[in-house]
Amino acid sequence: MTKLLFIATVLLAFACNHEQKNDAKTPEASPPAAKVSLPAKMSYDGTAAIGKSENIATVMNFNLDFIAGKFDNYANYLADSVTYTLADGSRYNSVRDSAIAAIKAWRESMTDAKQSYISAIAVDNTEKGDEWVMQWIDESHDYKDGKKEHMVLHEDYRLVNGKIREMFQYAQAIPGK
């Protein structure tokens, strides 16, 4: 829940503090944003700033290789140890090779997987030195046992030195027609 609050705060801070960079459209410079005192304490606080697009590319390549069933590059995407919490509440903490083996086994249990991006944003916590990528994707899985899944996922990736160290996943069922 605290991570979710951080994410909501980061998105709110981004939306409130996003300044237009095109001087031709902005006749005068915007004044610096005032420090806002929030009405509730957060366990993961800090100052949000727009992050590196390279981090978005790393997360996208990680996901696109998963969908394609290609795992040769996975050592380039993951840190030495990886922690991930899935939408069902299961939490894994393992070394890179074990994480790759588990992800590969999961993908190999499928006959097909599809993914399309809704949006992604890189956000850094400048006070803590954390780099994050938040993505929203539409993903479906067809399993060898006949089971089918389709959901919209929100995933938060924390990167260290350009590699995925931690991931949190939240799911939304596809609304009925």
pLDDT at position 2, please? 46
Per-residue pLDDT reduced to its tens digit, 107-155: 999 999 999 999 999 999 999 999 999 999 999 999 999 999 999 999 9
Residue 49: inside a domain, yes or no? yes
pLDDT at position 33, please? 66
pLDDT at position 35, please? 78
| Phi, then psi, of 81 in degrees rounded to 5 | -130, 150
**DSSP run (H or E) holding 13:** helix 2-17
pLDDT at position 32, please? 65
| Phi, then psi, of 174 in degrees rounded to 5 | -75, 125
Tell me what the pLDDT averaged over the chain comes to. 86
Contact 120, 136 (CB under 8 A): yes
Centre a 10 Å sphere on the Cβ of residue 107 and count the other Cβ atoms it contains: 17
Confidence (pTM): 0.79
Residue 117: inside a domain, yes or no? yes
The CATH number assigned to the domain holding 15 equals 3.10.450.50
Which has the closest alpha carbon to 134: 49, 59, 82? Answer: 59
* Domain count within the chain: 1
Structure-token match 């380039």, residue found: 76
Percent of the chain with pLDDT over 90: 73
pLDDT at position 139, please? 96
Residue 34: inside a domain, yes or no? no
Residue 35: inside a domain, yes or no? no
pLDDT at position 38, please? 85
Residue 144: inside a domain, yes or no? yes
The residue-averaged pLDDT of 28-56 equals: 84
- Between the ranges 8-12, 16-20, 48-52, 165-169, where is the mean pLDDT highest? 165-169
Residue 138: inside a domain, yes or no? yes
pLDDT at position 117, please? 96
Range of the domain at 98: 2-26+44-173
Q: Which residues contact 67 (CB under 8 A, 6 or more apart)?
A: 113, 114, 115
